[in-house]
Amino acid sequence: MTLHTASAHRICPFCEAACGLALDLEERKVVRIRGDAKDVFSHGFLCPKAIGLKDLHDDPDRLRTPLIKRAGVFMEASWEEAYAEIERRLPSIIAAGGPNAVATVLGNPVSHKMGLSLYFPPLARALGTRNMFSASSVDQIPKMLACGLMFGSWMSVPVPDIERSDFLLMLGANPMVSNGSLWTVPDFRGKAKALRARGGQIVVIDPRRTETVAVADVHHFIRPGADVFFLLGIAHTLFDEQLVRLGRLDGHVAGVAELGAALRAFAPEAMAGRCGIGAATMRELARTLAATPRAAVYGRIGTCTQQFGTLCSWLIDVINVLSGHLDEEGGAMFPKAAAFAANTRGAPGAGRGIVSGRYRSRVSGVPEMLGELPLTCLAEEIDTPGPGQIKALIAIGSNPVLSAPNGARLAAALDGLDFMVSMDIYLNETSRHADVILPGLSPLEEAHYDVTFTQFSHHNHARYSAPVLARAPGQPEEWESMLRIAAIAMGLGAQADIGALDDAALEQEVHKTMGAAAPAVLAALAPLKGAERKLELALRSGPYGDQFGAQPGGLKLARLKAAPSGIDLGPMGARIPEALRTASGNIELAPQMLLDDLARVQADLASPVPDLVIIGRRQLRSNNSWMHNLPVLAKGAYRCTALVHPHDAARLGLADGARAQISNGARQIVAQVEVSDDMMPGVVSLPHGWGHDLPGTQLGVAAERPGVNLNALLDENLRDPLSGNAVLSGIAIKMQALG
Ligand SMILES: Nc1nc2c(c(=O)[nH]1)N[C@H]1C(S)=C(S)[C@@H](COP(=O)(O)OP(=O)(O)OC[C@H]3O[C@@H](n4cnc5c(=O)[nH]c(N)nc54)[C@H](O)[C@@H]3O)O[C@H]1N2
Ligand SMILES: Nc1nc2c(c(=O)[nH]1)N[C@H]1C(S)=C(S)[C@@H](COP(=O)(O)OP(=O)(O)OC[C@H]3O[C@@H](n4cnc5c(=O)[nH]c(N)nc54)[C@H](O)[C@@H]3O)O[C@H]1N2
Ligand code: SF4
Ligand SMILES: [Mo]
């Protein structure tokens, strides 16, 4: 007997680093997972989570069959039965309540899955609802708003060119654990080490002395939520000390004078007390940024999930522009993705800019952003009666009962819905509320192209992964289920020919974008279907594409398939003004909406500083709320601990390892204390995504050590008013020892 062995490649779908993995198979089972040393982008790097791919595939709790809830109990069902149940219940809700009676909520995995990200738009069009929600509004939407206003498209987010940089100022990010976010940068450790080896320096601003601080040169504690004061102090200094130099961007930047005037009130000396970082440090950092030819400022989730999230996000790139580092080698540059990037489509250099606030949420009147309403408004839109109330929900790769503030209210609201569908791979804290659960495939069973994170990659590349293992017969891909639900919403029924629907949509799109070339393009795409066909169209018509023959040697799917370790498209290059899509064709440095918000900062300067606040924390062997069921990642020491500075522990009588009650008004949780001088005094850190002790789930491993839910403490009504993003950081708490 011969052993059937094989090897395969797969881009890791677990985080934004998007590492290329090499898998060894025996008898069609994965036996080994390594980093793919030949990968043109990640060069063999992987983290411990990658091994979880195997555990996920084998997890007995992972759903493989649709579930339908009957009389409160989930029963296994066929795909036909599951779609029929949706057809039986969804259309009457739309008929009675109109399109807004159905809501959608998308979670983080949607952006890691080609099928989900490419086929949500047709589902959204078919539903026509304004009630769309996603994890973006507990995450990065402030950055997208700021970049949209400055550069003209939501996804034009500059990223540090770390391989050529000599100075990095990083705020509210911990890439040693998160492996980077809005910055696809596998092996941050290796790149940081190389930066320092060539004489460069990394400065980290964080209320915790993080794992990233351990590979940096300098660390400053900052009061949670106070980054705006620090960044204003630096931006002020650039004007005050005549350090502004636009360099090559001169002539492409509007609003410099207005900005200078607006910043006059924010001298570092006036900001220091509020942010906890001295004025001399802010001035020195401004001078270093101005004097270092290759430098960048980068901020991530810690700078977004706070009440001034949009201002922080804006100021980071304001400083990059003013200090001459935007769009420069070694600075903050714009990736040029091979497919799907809005800033590579249409006429280069100018566009329509972004629009937001086209409508407002029904209950709290929060403005629309990116076609969405804040996730923190979902519960009230369900549990507040009246015309326009949400009656049905389609949740896609989303677990807001744990991931969003006040999950208890949301859980109760979900129980009040007339109908709920979850597209999910687990029966978990959110999907337990569904009437129908449609399980996705294991990542090993589906093809992959990184639609989203190629747009934030520090080095341009294109890679495609073929399915590693065959899926069970009859198991649809997730994009097929989305089209099925779309067909049901359009009144075409569960038996509709979704292939024909997809063809019609493609024809329409190609005729709109390709004009006279459309018939030839459609003929070239004819052999493909679904997500792969969309990918082929985007690649071939994209910035490196073969333009359907006009650029022989250009990219197309067949070339990617022939290069399993990917195709290197080179380091980031200068893209201003070509990448801009603002109406003026300039970088808008001083959008009025942002200047106006400075009044709120002024007013906040005098606010009292609470003596104890809580922030979040990410952990290497975890991914938000959903990887705690994988044995290989769940093992080891108990991790859901509240880190408390020794001074605070002494003051509050909290012992290491003891349990303590943490409260925010009437909201309370009990957590295990871990005394740690890595914390800034007055700041407590607890990871999010835990709390797997709710009834009705099927998460055997996670339930053994459920942890506690940080979000149960947080207030769903606290938002950055500009972007609607949730405030998750710097919330005042009380802490009390338990006997
Ligand atoms: N306090 C606090 N809260 C936070 C954060 C924080 O820092 N602090 N971070 C926020 C951030 S940045 C984010 S992105 C959100 C994340 O919020 P969510 O996206 O709601 O949370 P996840 O835990 O990523 O849940 C993903 C869901 O997708 C399912 N899933 C996994 N793979 C697949 C698949 O292939 N197909 C389908 N259909 N489903 C799949 C999982 O079972 C799970 O139910 O959490 C936010 N919440
Ligand atoms: N292993 C692992 N990797 C992940 C995830 C995960 O759960 N686990 N989640 C993924 C997701 S969805 C995302 S969005 C990314 C996020 O990626 P990152 O943004 O790198 O996320 P964090 O590791 O949470 O780092 C945020 C840092 O901000 C600090 N911080 C908190 N409040 C403030 C503040 O007010 N000001 C400043 N300056 N700092 C503050 C925290 O102490 C923390 O060190 O990570 C992704 N990668
Ligand atoms: S860093 Fe992220 S993408 Fe890379 S192996 Fe780990 S989880 Fe996967
Ligand atoms: Mo996120």
In the reported structure, the alpha carbon of residue 413 is separated from the centroid of ligand 2 by a whole-number distance in angstroms of 29
pLDDT in the model for residue 187: 98
The rounded Cα 162 to chain-centroid distance in angstroms is 20
Please say if the pLDDT value at position 455 is more than 70. Answer: yes
Distance CA 403, CA 398 (A): 8
Mean per-residue pLDDT, 303-320: 98
Which residue is closest in CA terms to ligand 3's atom 6? Answer: 47
| Element housing 89 (H / E) | helix 79-97
Q: Over range 693-708, report the average pLDDT.
A: 97
Shortest-distance ligand to the CA of residue 172: 2
Query: Mind giving me the DSSP string for 401-413?
Result: HHHSS-HHHHHHH
pLDDT in tens, 229-248: 999 999 999 999 999 999 99
Provide the percentage of residues in the chain whose pLDDT is more than 90: 98
Smallest CA-to-CA distance from 343 within 160, 151, 183 is with: 151
Q: Distance between CA 713 and CA 719 in Å, rounded?
A: 15
Percent of the chain topping pLDDT 70: 100
Note the CATH number of domain 67-129+374-448+475-563. Answer: 3.40.50.740
Domain boundaries of the chain, sorted by first residue: 67-129+374-448+475-563, 142-334+584-602, 610-737
With a 6 Å cutoff on the Cβ, whether 179 touches ligand 3 is yes
Please say if the pLDDT value at position 561 is more than 90: yes
Mean pLDDT for the stretch of residues 472-497: 97
Average pLDDT over residues 663-681: 98
The Å distance, Cα 502 to ligand 1 centre, comes to 28
Give the distance (Å) from ligand 4 centre to CA of residue 280.
Answer: 34
> What's the CA-to-centroid distance between 156 and ligand 3, angstroms?
23
Q: Which CATH fold would you assign to the domain 610-737? A: Barwin-like endoglucanases (2.40.40)
Say if residues 686 and 662 touch (Cβ distance below 8 Å). Answer: yes
Given the CA of residue 621, which atom of ligand 2 is nearest to it? 1
For residue 67, the model assigns a pLDDT of 98
Q: What region does 515 belong to: left with phi over 0, alpha with psi -120 to 50, or beta?
A: left
Using 50, 70 and 90 to split pLDDT, how confident is the model at 537?
Answer: very high
Mean pLDDT of the residues in the chain: 97
Mean pLDDT score, 119-128: 98
Atom of ligand 2 nearest to the CA of 223: 35
Residue 484 predicted with pLDDT over 70? yes
Average pLDDT over every residue of 504-530: 96
Does the beta carbon of 630 lie inside 6 Å of ligand 3? Answer: no
Element housing 315 (H / E): helix 309-322
Ligand 4 centre to CA of 17 (Å) is 13
Q: pLDDT-based confidence at 606, cuts 50/70/90?
A: confident
For residue 441, pLDDT over 80 is answered with: yes
What pLDDT does residue 500 have? 97
pLDDT for residue 3: 75
Model pTM above 0.85: yes
Residue 173's nearest CA partner among 183, 163, 164, 165 is 183
pLDDT, one tens digit per residue, over 3-37 is 788 999 999 999 999 999 999 999 889 999 999 99
Q: Cα separations (Å) of 209 from 379, 641, 688?
A: 35, 16, 18
Residue 120 alpha carbon to ligand 4 centre in Å: 18
- Provide the edge-to-edge strand list for the sheet that holds 659-664: 731-732, 613-615, 683-685, 641-644, 667-675, 659-664, 734-737
Atom from ligand 3 closest to the CA of residue 18 = 3
Residue 1 pLDDT > 60: no
| Nearest protein CA to atom 31 of ligand 2, as residue | 302
DSSP string, 490-503: TTS-TTS-HHHHHH
The ligand minimizing its distance to the Cα of 439 is 1
The closest of 244, 241, 246, 293 to 267, measured between CA atoms, is 241
- SS3 for 94? helix
Tell me how far apart the terminal alpha carbons of the chain are, to the nearest angstrom.
Answer: 63
Can you give the pLDDT at residue 4? Answer: 85
Classify domain 142-334+584-602 at the CATH class level: alpha beta
What pLDDT does residue 739 have?
75
Interval 259-274 mean pLDDT: 98
Pocket of ligand 1 (CB under 6 A): 107-109, 113, 135, 138-139, 301, 396-400, 403, 423-426, 428, 430, 440, 478, 616, 624-626, 688-689, 710-711, 728
Q: How far, rounded to the nearest angstrom, does the alpha carbon of residue 61 sit from its chain's CA centroid? A: 26
398: nearest Cα among 59, 103, 109, 696 = 109
